[in-house]
Structure 1
Amino acid sequence: VTPPVLGHEVAGDIEEVGSDVRGYSKGDRVAVHHHVPCHTCYYCLRGDHTLCQEFPKSNLDPCGFAEYLRVPETNVSKGAVFRLPDGMSYEEAALAEPTGCCIRGIDRLGIQNEDSTLIIGAGPAGLTYVRLLRAFGTGLIVATDVIESRVRWARKFGTDQAFNAADTNLHRQVLDATEGRGVDNVIVASGNVKAIEASFQFVRKGGKILLFGIPPEGSVFSCDASSVFIREIKLIPSYSTTENEIQRALEMMETGMIRLTDMITHRSHLSEIAEAFRIADDARLSLKVMVHE
């Protein structure tokens, strides 16, 4: 489990470089990823970098919510410091890490061009998935949320259909949109266990469910195991991102293939961070709250 370090989606200027650092200079504009794998263990050598024992450590010292932070040698040498393209704002660059997480989720799902996808949870992650799926040219995109303002955001961000998850006709609406089959993929972009449990009713036979939102530690969900077996439903978790996906995110942003800064609903100075947390805690009021130094 990632240690509770406050602030890890960061971008800014290099103020000072160590005597042995090569390739970076004072004044460079960069984004930094807080996780890095060792690249030598059993999991890393098999491409499962997020399962590396070193990976969950958050290496930003003291944290991202600070005027200055130290980036250790391991992050620098292993490619976790990204020089920003000319013209890219720090706000956009700060969104590269969560976008990388979503790109990795899509990769793990193996979504095909004509696939239909239901996204449960239309918060920042869910809306990022909407924009990515649209950019990749996939099929039907449907989103649900229990908060009506986020249902409206989903429509604005480009879904084909968006529904309130509290609607008692939701199951029928999803089936009607997919000729009675259910969707090819469900992305659970919520840590609510009830969202995971609900996902099984929307996916087609042979379909896939991506567990993307992080449930509280110790959470337990129930499902009809026999139905999962007979229907051959695939459950695929996706945790975090690597340097590869973050670089892809930056490239997509640079070329205009994806735009996400319109999900920034509030901006706060570091000195007002308590108020920023209060706003971010109310999902009815905000999507992304950006903190500036």
Structure 2
Amino acid sequence: MRVPAPNVLHATFRVPPHVGDEAASFVEPLGCCLRAVRRARVDPGDTAVVVGLGSIGCLFVQLLTRAGAAVVGCDPLADRAELAVRLGAAVAGPPDAARRAQHELSGGRGADLVVVTGGGADVLPWAAESLRDGGTVHYFAGGGGAALPLRLEALYHRELTITATYSSSPADLAEAFRLIETGAVDVGRLFTHRVPLERLASGVDLMRRREALKVYVTP
């Protein structure tokens, strides 16, 4: 295996025994989530909605809660919604329940932030309707659609902001490693299945059917 020198210098960490390989595998995705939270500029007391409660969504739930936000999780799968609550979300459930929860938590104003972790552009109208005037939608996932289905008039008159992040910086990775090393972010509960390499196809199938949250593949 060949690793670029900058990665070795700035993005390589010595994994202590109490962390282990499984938890360490979350350093990169957690670093990307950290970058997104910083870009979205969350303030204590904000109401934040996380759309999609897979492993990435559950990382966002924890980071936004740590930032002082009241977090609402949105996912039609009950087991994922239940896990999000155990990880710090105030409420989690399908779209209708999430909409009611953010309305109540925000005192009727609407959410300050909606983080989209899945669903692509189709989620944008729902996300925009969930926001207060001046709120922010942060896209953390690609998806179908070549255009954003939101009228420019709505974006302009409501002063909405749309942001997106794709990767992480060395500083984000270092902070992610620290959060995992100290247990400040729980990644252990995000692994639902473990399969050997020869059963990789079955692990992928579990993810495709949304029967697994995170599959760890061993050599």
Which range, TM-score by smaller chain?
over 0.9
Q: 1:196 touches 1:211 (CA, 8 Å); kept in 2?
A: no
Do the aligned partners of residues 175 and 244 (structure 1) sit closer, same or farther apart at CA in structure 2, a change above 3 Å counting?
Answer: same
Q: What's 2:190 paired with?
A: 263
Shift of 1:74: 4.5
Q: 2:51 touches 2:117 (CA, 8 Å); kept in 1?
A: yes
1:198 matches 2:129:
no
Instruction: Tell me, in whole angstroms, the C-alpha distance in 2 between the residues paired with 1:172 and 1:71.
Output: 48
Unaligned runs of 5+ in 2: none
Shift of 1:255: 1.6
Instruction: Tell me, in whole angstroms, the C-alpha distance in 1 between the residues paired with 2:98 and 2:171.
Output: 37
Letter in 1 for 2:38: D
- Secondary structure at the aligned position of 2:118 is classed as coil
1:117 matches 2:48:
yes
Instruction: Tell me, in whole angstroms, the C-alpha distance in 1 between the residues paired with 2:112 and 2:102.
Output: 11
Unaligned runs of 5+ in 1: 1-68
Count of paired positions: 219
Q: What's 2:172 paired with?
A: 245
Instruction: Tell me, in whole angstroms, the C-alpha distance in 1 between the residues paired with 2:181 and 2:102.
Output: 35
Letter in 2 for 1:156: R
Q: What's 1:146 paired with?
A: 76
- Secondary structure at the aligned position of 2:216 is classed as strand
Q: Give runs of aligned pairs for residues 77-116 of structure 1, distance below 5 A.
A: 77=9, 79-116=10-47
Letter in 2 for 1:280: M
Using CA pairs under 8 Å that are at least 6 residues apart, name the structure with larger relative contact order, 1 or 2. Answer: 2
Q: Deviation digits for residues 98-145 of structure 1, max 9, x if unmatched?
A: 001100000101111221101111111111011112233x13110111
The sequence identity of aligned pairs, in percent, is 28
Q: 1:171 touches 1:201 (CA, 8 Å); kept in 2?
A: no
Instruction: Tell me, in whole angstroms, the C-alpha distance in 2 between the residues paired with 1:150 and 1:256.
Output: 21
Q: Give runs of aligned pairs for residues 34-113 of structure 1, distance below 5 A.
A: 69-77=1-9, 79-113=10-44
- Secondary structure at the aligned position of 1:71 is classed as coil
Q: 1:135 touches 1:258 (CA, 8 Å); kept in 2?
A: no
Letter in 1 for 2:134: G
Q: CA RMSD in A?
A: 1.7
Q: 1:188 touches 1:212 (CA, 8 Å); kept in 2?
A: yes
- Secondary structure at the aligned position of 2:129 is classed as coil
Instruction: Tell me, in whole angstroms, the C-alpha distance in 2 between the residues paired with 1:171 and 1:280.
Output: 27
Instruction: Tell me, in whole angstroms, the C-alpha distance in 2 between the residues paired with 1:237 and 1:119.
Output: 14
Q: Which runs of 4+ in 1 moved over 6 A?
A: none
